[in-house]
Amino acid sequence: MGKFLTSRSENYSQWYNELVVKADLAENSAVRGCMVIKPYGYAIWEKMHDALDKMFKETGHVNAYFPLFIPKSFLSREADHVEGFAKECAVVTHYRLKTNPDGSGVIVDPEAKLEEELIVRPTSETIIWSTYKNWIQSYRDLPILCNQWANVVRWEMRTRLFLRTAEFLWQEGHTAHATKEEAEVEARKMLDVYAKFAEEFMAVPVIKGVKTANERFAGALDTYCIEALMQDGKALQAGTSHFLGQNFAKAFDVKFLNKEGKQELVWATSWGVSTRLMGALIMSHSDDNGLVLPPKLAPIQVVIVPIFKGDEENAKMRELGNKLKADLEAKGLSVKFDDRDTQKPGWKFAQYELQGVPVRIAFGARDLENGTVEIARRDTLEKETYPVGQAVDICTKLMDEIQANIYKKALDFRAANITKVDTWEEFEAALAKGGFVSAHWDGTTETEVAIKEKTKATIRCIPLGNPLEEGKCILTGKPSKQRVLFAIAY
């Protein structure tokens, strides 16, 4: 199966598109710009969902659900917010269809016009803060630490499966606090949660940073982010956490009575990650043979494939296969025993390799006689023969080894692809090579925009804990106190 993929070196973009479809993760739908997430792809997303949801709850958050539709007037209450999302909004204007008088299908009923048009949520700050106004009267009602798992719509014209679609799945946290300090701590805390998830579960190393004023979320005072580097040298924003200040509290008049009996505006944060993480997972680790999945997020961690001729051999194989499956599952692993006779073993090997199953156990008639099995690991494609009695321990141990190995590989790749530059010529050369470029910038939006127009590179972030260092801006030569990270991004 793997040989049917375009190689990454030949055409990385085509390799990605083919892999998403051939590994059975997702496909384009009948609705332009929207995707169908197939069961195998959704199983990976469910693993992400479950791990993140547990982390959110461990940090004191609870789940709620808010409406898909937002009154248009809500969006216009926060000026920066509406400006940031206006071009991506889908608008509901009518609530009924009727049969066309000429019998040619249905038309919008002109008499069923909504009094106020509704926006299909691009993000939920406005509908949530209009709700929080009813929930918050006093300091005793704070903090509110809510998250919702939902779908959102941002009308994208140029789409790619998982990376950019008109509708996508995500979680969005929205919290309300009595003090500025508490809200800022929350925004940073959730950034740390995202970074921990990316590194410990996805095996994707990330750089934590803060966005420039030009790149921050519409309506935020500060946007924190985690930035990852893909194998083609492009950056991918893998998650964001926003300190919203009191902007939405002002817009929706959300006040509370403090301990001194005085009215104060509430402080806010919001934070989210989306199915875009699926794109990050695919592009960080996968190879020309298909997906490479970290064991912690693999729907199937071990696949068992017997090699048999006829029903009699299959019966013997089934006994060993079922025992191995039960023993591995007792260790907490997710296992598939594939003894179908409708596909040849070679086809199965290629299919599970394409789908990134971390470990494969195979055995034939001779293995049964010798009391051995062959164990193959997906990350290195190495295979070795072991006594049956060692198989469970070997597979259990391989889960940690593979998880650590693919993280280290991605970390080494990133380390080799961060380039420090001091001149414009060096900057352009480094961008052509790909990766993160560490360079001085004079701190102005004008220069940032000019660099983007000349090269398509954006400032991905100002890394947290960034050391101060005197230098000159690569474009204007004006003084700069620190380097920032540039890259061409998805």
Of 401, 432, 448, which closes a domain?
401
The DSSP bridge partners found for residue 270 are 174, 242
Whether residue 343 sits in one domain with residue 426: no
Going through 280-425 in order, the beta strands assigned E by DSSP cover: 302-306, 335-337, 359-363, 372-377, 383-387, 418-420
Whether residue 248 sits in one domain with residue 220: yes
pLDDT under 70: residue ranges of the chain:
1-3
**Tokens 């420090």, residue located:** 420
Domain annotation covers residue 409: no
DSSP state letter for 388: G
Element housing 275 (H / E): none
Q: Please write the tens of the pLDDT for every residue from 302-334.
A: 999 999 987 777 888 999 999 999 999 999 999
CATH number, domain containing residue 465: 3.30.110.30
Q: Please write the tens of the pLDDT for every residue from 149-175.
A: 999 999 988 889 999 999 999 999 999
Whether residue 363 sits in one domain with residue 216: no
Q: What is the pLDDT of residue 82?
A: 85
| Gap between the Cα atoms of 95 and 490, Å rounded | 36
Range(s) of the domain holding residue 314: 300-401
Q: What is the pLDDT of residue 312?
A: 77
Q: What is the pLDDT of residue 314?
A: 80
Structure tokens at 116: 């106020």
Q: What is the pLDDT of residue 79?
A: 84
Whether residue 271 sits in one domain with residue 140: yes
Domain annotation covers residue 158: yes
Q: What is the pLDDT of residue 3?
A: 61
Domain annotation covers residue 360: yes
Q: What is the pLDDT of residue 1?
A: 43
pTM comes to 0.96
Cα 295–Cα 299–Cα 305 angle in degrees, nearest 5: 90
Whether residue 145 sits in one domain with residue 46: yes
Q: Are 291 and 282 in contact (CB under 8 A)?
A: yes
Structure tokens at 46: 């469910």
Q: What is the pLDDT of residue 309?
A: 85
| CB atoms near residue 5 (< 10 Å) | 21
Whether residue 257 sits in one domain with residue 324: no
| Gap between the Cα atoms of 174 and 147, Å rounded | 6
Domain annotation covers residue 412: no
Of 369, 401, 433, which closes a domain?
401
Domain annotation covers residue 290: no
| CB atoms near residue 265 (< 10 Å) | 15
Mention every residue, 6+ apart, whose C-beta is less than 8 A from residue 141: 135, 256
| Gap between the Cα atoms of 113 and 95, Å rounded | 7
Whether residue 273 sits in one domain with residue 310: no
CATH number, domain containing residue 332: 3.40.50.800
Whether residue 91 sits in one domain with residue 215: yes
Whether residue 201 sits in one domain with residue 228: yes
User: Which residue type is seen at 222?
Assistant: D
How many domains are contained in the chain?
Answer: 3
